[in-house]
Chain A
Amino acid sequence: MEIKKPEIKSIPYGEFKDNESLEGLVKELNDNGVNVITGSLDQLVNWGRSNSLWSLTFATSCCGIEFMAVGCARYDFARFGFEVCRNSPRQADLIMCAGTITHKMAPVFKRLYDQMAEPKYVVAVGGCAISGGPFKSSYHVVKGIGEIVPVDVYVPGCPPRPEAILYGMMQLQRKIKVQKFFGGANRKEKKPIVVTDVPKDFNK
């Protein structure tokens, strides 16, 4: 009993065509074989999950202001169901890392991520969170939060425009919609990936 192509509500299939990684996820889903009952339950659960993404208000610098702008009247991310921001990591679905992570902040950031309940997602907003951005050559800046936690969506920009943040969040919605909730995304706590053995001449 396999589903040929998982149907995703409210987002046209055509939009996925260019996105290879999402295609890969769909293919993986098809290859493994999905039970019809859990498959349609997945759809229902994922419809709910993807339209009520609660983010942790975690802003360290400039990008945080753009995050606030997205929340306000002009860009209004309540249209997509993102408007509930939680101040406690225990109640949040995703951590939107808006800003630079420094060496002093890194343990705090990792702890915040660890405190969140599964399934959890990470959105890296802005150049600093992606790679260190303009502060890459500093002695006190983490060169991308990918070194500390697994990242789901990268939103480039310095700072990204609100439209870019919205697009990044919509990509996350899509990612959630093709995930298997039962036995998949709802998995047990995994240890975060910590990359420590980056060669010293990596950037040269």
Chain B
Amino acid sequence: MKLEHKIFDVKDFASEMAKLKTEKHFDFLVTIVGEDFGEEGLGCIYILENTGSHERTSVKVVASDRDKAYIPTVSHLWKGAEILEREVYDFFGIIFLGNKDMRRLYLRSDFKGYPFRKDFKAEEGYSLEDDNEPDYTMEYSLKQDGTLQATQHKLFTDDDYVINIGPQHPATHGVLRLQTILDGETIRKIYPHCGYIHRGVEKMCEEYTYPQTLALTDRLDYLSAMMNRHALCSVVEEAMGVELTDRIKYIRTIMDELQRLDSHLLFYGCCAQDLGALTAFIFGMRDREAVLNCMEETTGGRLIQNYYRIGGLQDDIDVNFVKNVKKLCEYIKPMFKEYDDVFTGNVILQNRFKGVGVLSKENAISYGCTGGTGRAAGWHNDVRKNHPYDMYGNVEFDEITYTEGDCFARYKVRLDEMRQSVRIIEQLIDNIPAGDFYIKQKPIIRVPEGQWYTSCEGSRGEIGVYLDSRGDKSPYRLKFRPMGLPLVSAMDEILRGEKIADLISVGATLDYVIPDIDR
């Protein structure tokens, strides 16, 4: 989607955004993109969606004073904005007036400078000392005379019992840290700490040529490596006006669904392991290997395939691909019943999942929890249905939704989606048309000026890529919409009042991947 921004002034930004939310029902804040516009100043681009009509729009706001850049917050309109604004503050140093939590999100609190500004110079070396994190947050407001006023809010009271879960903890699925305030064993508040695997992918992309940037996407959310790359290829292809052949579209759709199968099988395994069911874990991983075999013969990679490229695919499919995928489909269909038999019906699972960790539909939309988490709450957010790309408009499949919004619904959504993935693959695999697998591009790819945003349905939500090109051979700004960040920001809402043991169930079913959150 080529972006035609509505441009708002900082002064009436807050009221205009409120109007968009209430009058035009843009109730889903897809993402906030911070950007250094050079001489124009620092600013943000807000991408919004109307969840009824699926219409999308983008809003641009620029703060011209680089040293004292501020923009009014929208965190009272969309709950998910709070953490997205913290991200922008961390990278660009833009202060959001009225946001109650203006701490750094990814970088250490003693980090100097704002890395995504164009004039940032990285310092050599790093500290092996622990970070002395502040135990307060800052809230900024504007005084009558135009100066900024800071107010401190304490994170903890003296009676609070605080437990740190992570960054090295088996149940956080990576290096996430959750600062949990407990009352007995009831959770009162969770402060998520991200950034332990922040690798600065977006900043690196600004120095790389377009084909080079592709290599980094697979390593963001490695369990939806294909979809990440799909989104980035799509946005560049759309910007350059490349028309793909049907063969490419068919293969990409099949590969995406195989990847989804792989990811959900791993979800099933990890979910089981978190609850202590080792057999189910082994079952899930066993069948995942069967899926990997199919992909490996064509792509040569197990986990990270590096298969798509701008204008098509790296190589044609393997001669045995069609045969093997059909065999896989036949093999895996009876297995779904086995998963249900061995794990879904288990009393322990039922007790630990049903009615636990409820996220309402309103909150799912407000936080922007896409993917299985949103669909478990009854929000129809499947990008494949709402904004069909490649072959998804031409195949039959159901968008799985539940209404409970609890852990069990989130678990069931994934299991049912695997069946739908097989259904999609079966419709396509016999009819792959002949044609080119790659449309030749120039050796140096230059994208015309403009801004684009394209998204794909990843394994755990909407993976979107925002591209700002100035006609160069590398992007001016490239931003990935992380699938996991809204899920982590919603954890506090989901878990407040629940028992600490349920944090494990909720973490398992939210199914976030940390390198995707931190990028």
Question: Residues of A with Cβ closer than 8 Å to B?
Answer: 57-62, 64-66, 68-69, 72-74, 87, 99-100, 102-108, 110-112, 134-135, 137-142, 148, 158-159, 161-162, 194, 196, 200
**A103 close to B285 (CB less than 8 A):** no
Cα–Cα distance between A65 and B223 once the two chains are bound (Å): 9
**A107 close to B131 (CB less than 8 A):** yes
Contacts of A69 in B (CB 8 A): 285, 288-289, 302
Q: Would A142 and B126 be within 8 Å (CB), given that A61-B197, A87-B169, A102-B198 are in contact? A: yes
Query: Would you call B122 an interface residue if the criterion is a C-beta within 8 Å of the partner chain's C-beta atoms?
Result: yes
**A105 close to B199 (CB less than 8 A):** no
**B174 close to A102 (CB less than 8 A):** no
Cα–Cα distance between A106 and B128 once the two chains are bound (Å): 6
**B199 close to A107 (CB less than 8 A):** no
Q: Would A57 and B200 be within 8 Å (CB), given that A139-B122, A140-B107 are in contact? A: no
**B200 close to A141 (CB less than 8 A):** yes
Checking B127, B197, B285 against A99 with a beta-carbon cut-off of 8 angstroms, the contacting residue is B197
Cα–Cα distance between A62 and B195 once the two chains are bound (Å): 16
Checking B120, B201, B515 against A62 with a beta-carbon cut-off of 8 angstroms, the contacting residue is B515
Query: Would you call B158 an interface residue if the criterion is a C-beta within 8 Å of the partner chain's C-beta atoms?
Result: no
Q: Would A65 and B131 be within 8 Å (CB), given that A99-B197, A200-B124 are in contact? A: no
Contacts of A142 in B (CB 8 A): 126
Which label, helix, strand, loop or mixed, suits the secondary structure of the A interface? Answer: loop
A selection of 11 A-B contacts at a CB cut-off of 8 Å is: A61-B197, A65-B222, A65-B223, A73-B289, A102-B196, A105-B167, A108-B175, A138-B201, A140-B198, A140-B199, A194-B128
> B128-152 CB contact bits vs A (8 Å, 1 = yes)?
1111000000000000000000000
Checking A64, A110, A138 against B174 with a beta-carbon cut-off of 8 angstroms, the contacting residue is A64
Query: Would you call B450 an interface residue if the criterion is a C-beta within 8 Å of the partner chain's C-beta atoms?
Result: no
**A73 close to B195 (CB less than 8 A):** no
Which B residue sits closest to A71, measured CB to CB? B285
**A137 close to B222 (CB less than 8 A):** no
Checking A60, A137, A159 against B196 with a beta-carbon cut-off of 8 angstroms, the contacting residue is A60
Checking A135, A158, A161 against B200 with a beta-carbon cut-off of 8 angstroms, the contacting residue is A135
B47 to chain A, nearest CB (A): 26
Cα–Cα distance between A60 and B175 once the two chains are bound (Å): 6
Cα–Cα distance between A29 and B60 once the two chains are bound (Å): 69
Q: Would A65 and B286 be within 8 Å (CB), given that A104-B107, A135-B204 are in contact? A: no
Cα–Cα distance between A60 and B222 once the two chains are bound (Å): 12
Which A residue sits closest to B266, measured CB to CB? A65
**B285 close to A72 (CB less than 8 A):** yes
Contacts of A200 in B (CB 8 A): 124
**B223 close to A107 (CB less than 8 A):** no
Query: Would you call B203 an interface residue if the criterion is a C-beta within 8 Å of the partner chain's C-beta atoms?
Result: yes
B344 to chain A, nearest CB (A): 20
Q: Could you say which interface size class chain B belongs to?
A: 35 or more
Contacts of A104 in B (CB 8 A): 106-108, 131, 195-196, 198
Query: Would you call B14 an interface residue if the criterion is a C-beta within 8 Å of the partner chain's C-beta atoms?
Result: no
Which A residue sits closest to B273, measured CB to CB? A68
A135 to chain B, nearest CB (A): 5
Cα–Cα distance between A142 and B204 once the two chains are bound (Å): 15
Cα–Cα distance between A107 and B167 once the two chains are bound (Å): 11
Contacts of A138 in B (CB 8 A): 199-201, 203-204
Query: Would you call B346 an interface residue if the criterion is a C-beta within 8 Å of the partner chain's C-beta atoms?
Result: no
B167 to chain A, nearest CB (A): 6
Which A residue sits closest to B223, measured CB to CB? A65
Q: Would A74 and B289 be within 8 Å (CB), given that A57-B170, A60-B197 are in contact? A: yes
B464 to chain A, nearest CB (A): 21
B459 to chain A, nearest CB (A): 13
Cα–Cα distance between A141 and B515 once the two chains are bound (Å): 13
**B198 close to A61 (CB less than 8 A):** no
Q: Which 3 A-B pairs have the closest CB atoms?
A: A139-B122, A72-B285, A103-B126
**A107 close to B128 (CB less than 8 A):** yes
Query: Would you call B207 an interface residue if the criterion is a C-beta within 8 Å of the partner chain's C-beta atoms?
Result: yes
Contacts of B106 in A (CB 8 A): 104
Contacts of B240 in A (CB 8 A): none
**A196 close to B302 (CB less than 8 A):** no
B339 to chain A, nearest CB (A): 15
Q: Would A61 and B169 be within 8 Å (CB), given that A73-B286, A138-B199 are in contact? A: no
Checking B175, B222, B285 against A105 with a beta-carbon cut-off of 8 angstroms, the contacting residue is B175
Cα–Cα distance between A66 and B292 once the two chains are bound (Å): 12
Query: Would you call B125 an interface residue if the criterion is a C-beta within 8 Å of the partner chain's C-beta atoms?
Result: yes
Cα–Cα distance between A72 and B288 once the two chains are bound (Å): 11
Contacts of B514 in A (CB 8 A): 60-61
Checking B170, B203, B302 against A139 with a beta-carbon cut-off of 8 angstroms, the contacting residue is B203
Which B residue sits closest to A58, measured CB to CB? B168
Which B residue sits closest to A138, measured CB to CB? B200
Cα–Cα distance between A161 and B300 once the two chains are bound (Å): 11
B175 to chain A, nearest CB (A): 5
Cα–Cα distance between A194 and B515 once the two chains are bound (Å): 26
**B115 close to A62 (CB less than 8 A):** no
Cα–Cα distance between A110 and B130 once the two chains are bound (Å): 10
B290 to chain A, nearest CB (A): 10
Query: Would you call B219 an interface residue if the criterion is a C-beta within 8 Å of the partner chain's C-beta atoms?
Result: yes
Contacts of A137 in B (CB 8 A): 204, 207
**A112 close to B168 (CB less than 8 A):** yes
Cα–Cα distance between A111 and B286 once the two chains are bound (Å): 35
Query: Would you call B162 an interface residue if the criterion is a C-beta within 8 Å of the partner chain's C-beta atoms?
Result: no
B462 to chain A, nearest CB (A): 21
Checking B131, B168, B285 against A73 with a beta-carbon cut-off of 8 angstroms, the contacting residue is B285
B331 to chain A, nearest CB (A): 15
Query: Would you call B216 an interface residue if the criterion is a C-beta within 8 Å of the partner chain's C-beta atoms?
Result: yes
Query: Would you call B304 an interface residue if the criterion is a C-beta within 8 Å of the partner chain's C-beta atoms?
Result: yes
Contacts of A74 in B (CB 8 A): 285-286, 289
Interface centre among A60, A135, A159 (most CB of B within 10 A): A60
**B222 close to A196 (CB less than 8 A):** no
**B304 close to A105 (CB less than 8 A):** no
Cα–Cα distance between A162 and B198 once the two chains are bound (Å): 25
A168 to chain B, nearest CB (A): 16
**B199 close to A72 (CB less than 8 A):** no
B246 to chain A, nearest CB (A): 32
Taking A138-B204, A140-B198, A162-B302 as given, write out 4 further A-B residue pairs in contact, using a Cβ cutoff of 8 Å, ordered by the A residue number. Answer: A62-B515, A103-B127, A108-B175, A161-B302
> B272-303 CB contact bits vs A (8 Å, 1 = yes)?
00000000011001101100000000000011
**A61 close to B222 (CB less than 8 A):** yes
Query: Would you call B59 an interface residue if the criterion is a C-beta within 8 Å of the partner chain's C-beta atoms?
Result: no
Checking B124, B168, B219, B281 against A134 with a beta-carbon cut-off of 8 angstroms, the contacting residue is B219
